[in-house]
Amino acid sequence: MIKLIKSTFYNEKQTKESLCKFISEAKQLSLGPECNKFEKSFAKWQGRKYCVFFNSGSSANLAIVQALLNLGIIKKNDLAGFSAITWATNPMPLIQLGLQAVPIDVELDTLNMSSRTLIDFLKKHSIKLLFLTNLLGFCDDIDQIKKVCDQNKITLIEDNCESLGTIYKGKKLGNYSHASTFSFFVGHHMSTIEGGAVCTDDREIYIMLNLVRAHGWDRNLEPTAQNKLRKKYEVSSSFYSKYTFYDLGYNLRPTEINGFLGNIQLNFLDQIIKKRQNNFLNLAKAFNKRLDLYFPIDYQHIDLVSNFAFPVICRSKNIRDSLIKKCENKIEIRPIVGGDMTHQPFYSKYMPKYEKLQMNSNAKLIKEQGLYFGNNPEMTNKEIKTIIKVFTK
């Protein structure tokens, strides 16, 4: 069986040995210096001013939406657009926090929202927030999407949980927006077992994210931000300041174990991305010879494709269904991420008003005719050959 995920970590044996030593010697295992160090290093790697580390990518998504609400950048009942093909915990926090989560279609050849699908959508709906997903290491014309958002006063945030390391027009995905989220779940680009992050260049958002991550208190803020809050709310007692809760928050903190792992794995990230890029290019070459069976995926506009799974969109449902049978016990496969979100039970339950929006969409076709298999850095040439044989011969 060619598994989706082959290991928990890159350089697994050594990483686990170092982890055992770290745990046995560490004085502190709750959020502390390892996490702080990781935040600084990851922000530098990504090319953003700030990074806040979370216990998952889903938590990062929840926290950024809460932070935007706390800051008054968005309000309850505002319409928020999201990519019709994404993971459930992308639109879920929008719904949980009282926004109207409205799907926007994607392009068939890039699997992502484009300025064209966004402009089409904006003819009928007016949104305050766009929570864009960069799906499976790809993007469409995200620079133009940003322009459309600026022209329409829409706050743009990127869910980059599936595209860590992809470079478009010389810039990493995750750097086109006000803030972007990342996942370090096993099997994603880089693993801290569970983990996630939000990156931003906006200091107010950074401060609010720290507050949202831990109970709504100010303990993890820099002294200047702490003093400003204490002054505003007239908290002069250092006794009460320890248990003063300024705004809505959660407990979404990572542990020092996650931080330690992040600091080790970050050293391998460029290597991991390179290997996955090579796998992707080899596979894409073979799949592009069978355009009779599959729709082409357009990635020529992307400088570097960094994905953890290879998407296949079949010309018909029959082709896709026969592949599901062919892969049984041979190649582990999945639907293309969460498929079209509007067909998920949770969406119909909470957003019935918008569930018909994707009736004849590309998202629907991708759900019904698509699948993906893993692209991991430990993939062997033999496995790549087997996959190519099963899918293209």
Count of residues engaged in binding ligand PLP, rule: CB under 6 A: 16
Q: Which two tokens stand for residue 121?
A: 């959508």
Three-state secondary-structure class, residue 255: strand
Report the residue from 110, 133, 279, 307 that binds ligand PLP according to the rule CB under 6 A.
Answer: 133
By the rule CB under 6 A, 277 interacts with ligand PLP: no
Q: Which is nearer to ligand PLP, 59 or 220 (CB)?
A: 59
Spell out, one character per residue from 140 to 159, where the chain touches ligand PLP: x when CB under 6 A holds, - when not. -------------------x
Report the residue from 46, 66, 90, 306 that binds ligand PLP according to the rule CB under 6 A.
Answer: 90
By the rule CB under 6 A, 185 interacts with ligand PLP: yes
Report the residue from 161, 211, 314, 387 that binds ligand PLP according to the rule CB under 6 A.
Answer: 161
How many Å apart are CA 63 and CA 47, to the nearest integer? 21
Residue with smallest beta-carbon separation from ligand PLP: 57
How many Å apart are CA 181 and CA 261, to the nearest integer? 19
By the rule CB under 6 A, 57 interacts with ligand PLP: yes
By the rule CB under 6 A, 265 interacts with ligand PLP: no
By the rule CB under 6 A, 191 interacts with ligand PLP: no
- According to DSSP, the β-strands at 309-313 and 333-334 are unpaired
How many Å apart are CA 54 and CA 181, to the nearest integer? 10
Q: Which is nearer to ligand PLP, 54 or 295 (CB)?
A: 54
How many Å apart are CA 215 and CA 208, to the nearest integer? 11
Nearest C-alpha neighbor of 157 from the set 192, 182, 140, 125: 182
- Which residues 6+ apart lie within 8 Å of 261 measured at CB? 9, 15, 19, 191, 192, 193, 195
How many Å apart are CA 247 and CA 351, to the nearest integer? 27
- Which residues 6+ apart lie within 8 Å of 36 measured at CB? 259
* Closest CB 142 distance from ligand PLP, rounded Å: 15
Nearest C-alpha neighbor of 181 from the set 3, 60, 59, 35: 60
Q: Which is nearer to ligand PLP, 86 or 361 (CB)?
A: 86
Report the residue from 15, 66, 89, 191 that binds ligand PLP according to the rule CB under 6 A.
Answer: 89
* Closest CB 119 distance from ligand PLP, rounded Å: 23
Stretch near ligand PLP under the rule CB under 6 A, chosen from 53-61, 199-207, 310-318, 384-392: 53-61
* Residue at token pair 């303990």: 219
Report the residue from 58, 110, 279, 375 that binds ligand PLP according to the rule CB under 6 A.
Answer: 58
Report the residue from 196, 249, 262, 311 that binds ligand PLP according to the rule CB under 6 A.
Answer: 196
Report the residue from 15, 117, 166, 183 that binds ligand PLP according to the rule CB under 6 A.
Answer: 183
Query: Which residues inside 219-238 make contact with ligand PLP, applying CB under 6 A?
Result: none
By the rule CB under 6 A, 39 interacts with ligand PLP: no
Nearest C-alpha neighbor of 133 from the set 150, 158, 153, 106: 158
Q: Is the CB of residue 140 less than 8 Å from the CB of residue 120?
A: no
- According to DSSP, the β-strands at 171-172 and 155-159 are unpaired
Stretch near ligand PLP under the rule CB under 6 A, chosen from 86-94, 110-118, 310-318, 372-380: 86-94
Q: Which is nearer to ligand PLP, 54 or 287 (CB)?
A: 54
Number of H helices, E strands in the chain: 15, 13
Nearest C-alpha neighbor of 159 from the set 194, 127, 191, 199: 199
Report the residue from 162, 256, 340, 368 that binds ligand PLP according to the rule CB under 6 A.
Answer: 162
Query: How far does Cα 283 stand from its chain's mean position?
Result: 23
Q: What is the contact surface with ligand PLP in residues (CB under 6 A)?
A: 56-58, 61, 86-87, 89-90, 133, 159, 161-162, 183, 185, 196, 337
